[in-house]
Amino acid sequence: MRAAQGQNSPVVHLPAGRLRGATEGGVAAFRRVPYAAPPTGGLRWRPAQPYAGWSGVRDATTDGPSAPQSYTEGGDPVLGGHGSPPFDDDCLTLNVWTPSADDAGRPVLVWIHGGGFVSGSGSLPNYSGEAFARNGDLVVVSVNYRIGPLGYLYFGADGTDGADSADGASGGDSRAGDEGAAEPGNFWLTDQIAALRWVHDHIAHFGGDPDRITVAGQSGGAVSTAALAGHPEAQGLFRRAILQSPPLGLHIPTPAEYLPRTAAYLRLAGVRDVDGLRALPWPRLIEAAQGLFGQTRRWGYWPTPFLPVRDGVTLRRHPARTLLHDAAADIDVMIGWTREEATFGFALDEGYAAATRGQVLERIAETFPDRADEVYGTYEEVRAGARPVDVLMGLISDELFRAPCVELAEARAELGRPVWAYQFDFPTPALQGRLAATHCLELPFVFGDFARWSHAPFLSGIDPAVRTGLGHAMHQAWIAFVRTGDPNHPDLPGWERYAAPARTTMRFDAVTAADGDPAGVARRLHHRASR
């Protein structure tokens, strides 16, 4: 059944029950829609389970709680915060925005938030789908899923710590094989699969076309998007993917590598096994997670206390490779990065600002054992007057983001599969310009609604005319890609697919232009390192 369209309170009839939403900014919004059973009690650290439904009319006018995470009043100096109360482990809900809950069969955009696997929410005002729905005639869905210890712990076959010591609990960066175990993990991914299946099965009730779904995500959410593309249960559930700043250079551990980290977390929580964790309130779980940051941190590496695990069941290969295999190879892909990704996590840290050449050379030598001086010199040449911290920022940005993104684009192009590449070049003047074109900075431009990002310090001082023009270029490119699989639109310079030898990449800046191979230095350096 289609919706009963009231002026301000549209009602949608679903198999699980009726939903009453609200009209916001000229579009219908339905919030806190359950797509899986609450993962509480005995369902903690279990794959997502079906939701039983409800009786009567369910109010869908207010956001559901975000997944439990650490929270600091006043936020942070870059984003101004990436998650805010209320939090609860009963969090498996999604939000839907639609121009009208009719039978128009509009293209669908599903948004998966990032946050280093430990923060963020599909309920954040920043990620409202209202502008996309209104400006692009799209149906937009944002998803809440389990993060941090509730989503990313792995327990092995017996549900215990799997190790006698935490000596291996480190943020290692070496690559490993794809061996796995029979016991599933990646509860976050089971949530996202359940949400994607729910969208495919129900989005027609909201005016969407289940055969024209695009999944998009940023940072950790882009890793999720890639992982979904390769999941057997997601085959055929979406046809396009947008990967914004995916940290595809992360090492994704095997079960044997991950279990010592789980052991360290159990000790921090003061319990012996998963049953002990299930007895704890979620605030205690988040408190223990903070301790794991300290135990896994390494100088010159992005801190990632929780990671996906290649369990051989839900995740069979590194997400960087999923879009090259089987049905996932046929998905249309747009992929991009910001020019100075790493400044987000390091540039405002006085310890890193004071880094010496010797410290940075030691860090470079971990990736380039025989060429540290040569690589340091290359980064100095790329940026005139570079300080040691600038060289380090270039290395981390390339190693974690730009080089593996380009490697994926190169591989898809060699297979003759469609891929479009972009680089976000616009430097923010905020915070004395120390962030430049940092990680996450493209997000408000993509979502096209700066009023919802007014709390974010990294937008301070941007010329309103530049903000409007660049926001229009990016917002419309995303809409075009969701609608057609091609990001070109009349107000954008011609954007060709990525392919050798041109390697066309759209550079989004105050003046946006297509360029040939702007990531060439990273591509050549890190290709040699990976051989």
Domain interval for residue 437:
11-157+184-254+317-350+402-530
Q: Is residue 380 part of a domain?
A: no
pLDDT at residue number 163: 38
What's the confidence (pLDDT) of residue 171? Answer: 36
From the candidates 100, 128, 142, 219, give the one annotated as an active-site residue: 219
- How far apart CA 214 and CA 121 sit, in angstroms, is 19
- DSSP-based three-state secondary structure for 59: strand
205 within a domain of the structure (yes/no): yes
Cβ-contact 113, 142 below 8 angstroms: yes
Q: Residue 530, Cβ neighbours under 10 Å: how many?
A: 12
Q: Is residue 458 part of a domain?
A: yes
Closest CA to 421 of 328, 313, 503: 503
- The answer as to whether 273 is a domain residue is no
| Structural domain includes residue 209 | yes
Domain-embedded: residue 191: yes
pLDDT value for 158: 56
Catalytic residue among 439, 475, 489, 526: 439
Give 157-224 as a DSSP string: TTSB-S-S--TT-S-----------SS---HHHHHHHHHHHHHHHHGGGGTEEEEEEEEEEETHHHHH
Of 130, 257, 340, 341, which is the active-site residue? 341
Nearest 5°: phi and psi at 244?
-100, 115
**What is the rounded CA–CA span in Å between residue 314 and residue 233?**
9
Q: How far apart are the first and last CA of the chain?
A: 56
Distance of CA 48 to the CA centre of its chain: 20
219 has catalytic annotation: yes
- Tokens 């989503």 belong to 151
CA separation for the pair 177, 254 (Å, rounded)? 8
Domain-embedded: residue 270: no
Ordered per-residue pLDDT tens for the chain, 531 residues: 445 555 579 999 999 999 999 999 999 999 999 999 999 999 999 999 999 999 999 999 999 999 999 998 888 999 999 999 999 999 999 999 999 999 999 999 999 999 999 999 999 999 999 999 999 999 999 999 999 999 999 999 755 444 333 333 333 333 334 444 458 899 999 999 999 999 999 999 999 999 999 999 999 999 999 999 999 999 999 999 999 999 999 999 999 999 999 999 999 999 999 999 999 999 999 999 999 999 999 999 999 999 999 999 999 999 999 999 998 999 999 999 999 999 999 999 999 999 999 999 999 999 999 999 999 999 999 888 899 999 999 999 999 999 999 999 999 999 999 999 999 999 999 999 999 999 999 999 999 999 999 999 999 999 999 999 999 999 999 999 999 999 999 999 999 999 999 999 999 999 999 999 999 999 999 875 554
Residue 143, domain CATH: 3.40.50.1820
The H-assigned helical ranges of 452-519 are: 464-484
Strand partners, 58: 19
**Total domains in the fold of the chain:** 1
Residue 374 lies in a domain: no
Distances (CA, A) of 340 to 105, 193, 287, 401, 514: 39, 32, 31, 10, 19
